[in-house]
Amino acid sequence: MGKATGFLEYDRHEDSWVSEEKRITGFEEFHNHLNEEERRCQAARCMDCGVPMCQSAICLKGMVTGCPLHNVIPEWNDEIYKGHYEAALGRLLKTSNFPEFTGRVCPALCEKACINGINSGAVTIHDNELFLIEKGYEMGYMKPRIPKTRSGKKVAVIGAGPAGLAVADQLNHRGHEVTVFEREDQIGGLLMYGIPNMKLDKSVIERRRKLMEEEGVIFKTGVDVGNGASFEKITDEFDAVALCCGSKKARTITAKGSEDCKDMHLAVDFLKSATKDLLSGKAGKWTISAKDKNVVVVGGGDTGNDCVGTCIRQGCKSITQLEMMARPPRERQQNNPWPEWPKALKTDYGQQEAIKVFGSDPRIYETTVKELITQKGKLKEIKTVKVKFEDRKLVEVEGTEQPIKCDLLIIAAGFVGCEDYIAKESKVELTQRGTVKTEPEQYKTSIPKVFTAGDMHRGQSLVVWAITEGRHCAAEMDRFLMGYSPLI
């Protein structure tokens, strides 16, 4: 696959990033993309490795490596190298519904499993994928694929995040009539309001919506099922229903003084308000503003990083990011060999920007918030404490309390399951983790003709896993409706 000696002739070159000084002045996407000739050289690095672990999605030591969608990566890399872009796109779309999303926000599990990563740097699969789908839109390959015949079956999808969109896309192309209900004013779920614009420009979501509508999918936004709209009415009207409402019950903190603090916000609320302000032309008049404030973000993951980047763009006075876990090693260790997921330190765009603006990495490890200190109702300071694990329990380290100036506290500590009201309204059975219960590797709930997919079923996870879940759920729903299914 690719050029036989390509991995020996060409070095890995990723899409570069706009400089920190320039990109923090706005919320535009900040990648500089390679030209077509350079991209073909990068695709040429994909070698005939025999067993392409990049598309495997195997679990090693509790962590998945390789693409959950099982994208046939060597095949479309070979086509890119040869300049056969339409054929390459066709192979990509066989397994991936929305490469324009994963090509922007996926952490590239595929690249972590690339055998070239052992010595010379993995193939730039992530960047190649984005090039391919954007080339498809540019060249007019992304045309509406309207089903020639309809099955007469009606399907409702509740939730327009990546899982719900994947269910809708698959079942619509199968010929079913699909209606998607979304409580927000725009589709996309966390793609729209949980990921900031500089990471995923919202015009990309609108472009995909337009294409899906041309193909026959009906979107009904501003419909909050279980809170104004009747779930029972939907199940009566439709032949099958997919619950794809996400895992949006956010984890918070219980530190002293946190109960009534008005300057403490959940990351999902902060990022949502920032995107809504940006889209409505209110940038600079932020609903939740970090401008001229000392900000502390609790949580060291991707969402915490997105909060750091957003706060810097809003003009924060300082930024600190707290992480309960220990700092990972800078390089992959010998006891963490390929093709395992590399447990190594990642300094993402937000942290890079903080280093540039404030002169140091914003992250403080093995630390959490112990107390919030306010003056006249305003947050002024937090007291932190070091933590460690003893017998699998997180405990404080005595004598390690430290004060940090803090005017705005953002909690990016993840999610603990689906929201209560939709579970109660639908009467689905939940697991101890707050996710919708099904049989292992299946998607049918305890309620007749009701299925589930995405974070609501799997728990908080990646966009690529949500799309994977949506595809598998759609296949199971199709078998329920038709008795068999060609979907995968």
Q: Are residues 178 and 237 in the same domain?
A: yes
Q: What is the mean pLDDT of residues 234-244?
A: 98
Query: Would you say residue 258 lies in a domain?
Result: no
Query: Would you say residue 253 lies in a domain?
Result: no
Query: Would you say residue 147 lies in a domain?
Result: no
Q: Are residues 397 and 469 in the same domain?
A: no
Domain boundary among 411, 439, 469: 411
| Residue 48 pLDDT exceeds 90 | no
Indicate the pLDDT class of residue 369, thresholds 50, 70 and 90: very high
Q: Are residues 292 and 347 in the same domain?
A: yes
**By residue range, what is the domain housing residue 223?**
154-247+416-482
The backbone region for 66, taken as left when phi is positive above 0, alpha when psi lies in -120 to 50, beta otherwise, is left
Q: In the structure encoding, which two tokens stand for residue 77, read together?
A: 């890399």
Closest CA to 306 of 410, 403, 443: 410
Q: What is the mean pLDDT of residues 392-416?
A: 96
Q: Are residues 180 and 301 in the same domain?
A: no
Q: Are residues 56 and 79 in the same domain?
A: yes
pLDDT in tens, 419-445: 999 999 999 999 999 999 999 999 999
What's the DSSP call for residue 69?
A: T
| Residue 295 pLDDT exceeds 90 | yes
Provide the pLDDT for residue 1: 62
Query: Residue 67 in contact with residue 110, Cβ under 8 Å?
Result: yes
Burial of residue 415 (number of CB atoms within 10 Å: 0-12, 13-18, 19+): buried
Q: What are phi and psi of 161, to 5 degrees?
A: -80, -170
Q: In the structure encoding, which two tokens stand for residue 128, read together?
A: 């190649």
Query: Residue 216 in contact with residue 170, Cβ under 8 Å?
Result: no
pLDDT in tens, 188-215: 999 999 999 999 999 999 999 999 999 9
CATH number at residue 238: 3.50.50.60
What's the DSSP call for residue 46?
A: -
Provide the pLDDT for residue 351: 98
What is the number of helices (H) and of strands (E) in the chain? 18, 18
Q: Are residues 227 and 303 in the same domain?
A: no
Closest CA to 244 of 190, 184, 165: 165
CATH number at residue 113: 1.10.1060.10
Count of other CB atoms within 10 angstroms of residue 475 = 19
Query: Would you say residue 149 lies in a domain?
Result: no
Provide the pLDDT for residue 311: 98
Query: Would you say residue 148 lies in a domain?
Result: no
Q: Are residues 132 and 162 in the same domain?
A: no
User: Can you tell me the distance from the alpha carbon of 107 to that of 116, in angstroms, rounded to the nearest whole number?
Assistant: 17
Indicate the pLDDT class of residue 140, thresholds 50, 70 and 90: very high
| Residue 318 pLDDT exceeds 70 | yes
Percent of the chain at pLDDT > 70 equals 100
Q: Are residues 405 and 270 in the same domain?
A: yes
Q: Are residues 329 and 407 in the same domain?
A: yes
Indicate the pLDDT class of residue 2, thresholds 50, 70 and 90: confident
Query: Would you say residue 259 lies in a domain?
Result: no
What's the DSSP call for residue 184?
A: S
Q: In the structure encoding, which two tokens stand for residue 455, read together?
A: 């974070």
Length of the chain: 488
Domain boundary among 411, 428, 444: 411
Sorted by sequence, the CB contacts under 8 Å of residue 376 that are 6+ apart come out as none
- The chain-wide mean pLDDT, for the chain, equals 96
Provide the pLDDT for residue 488: 84
User: Can you tell me the distance from the alpha carbon of 395 to that of 19, in angstroms, rounded to the nearest whole number?
Assistant: 40
Domain count, the chain: 3
Q: Are residues 289 and 382 in the same domain?
A: yes
Q: Are residues 360 and 429 in the same domain?
A: no
Q: Are residues 134 and 211 in the same domain?
A: no
Domain boundary among 96, 116, 139: 139
β-pairing, 218-221 with 393-396? unpaired
pLDDT in tens, 464-481: 999 999 999 999 999 999
Burial of residue 38 (number of CB atoms within 10 Å: 0-12, 13-18, 19+): middle
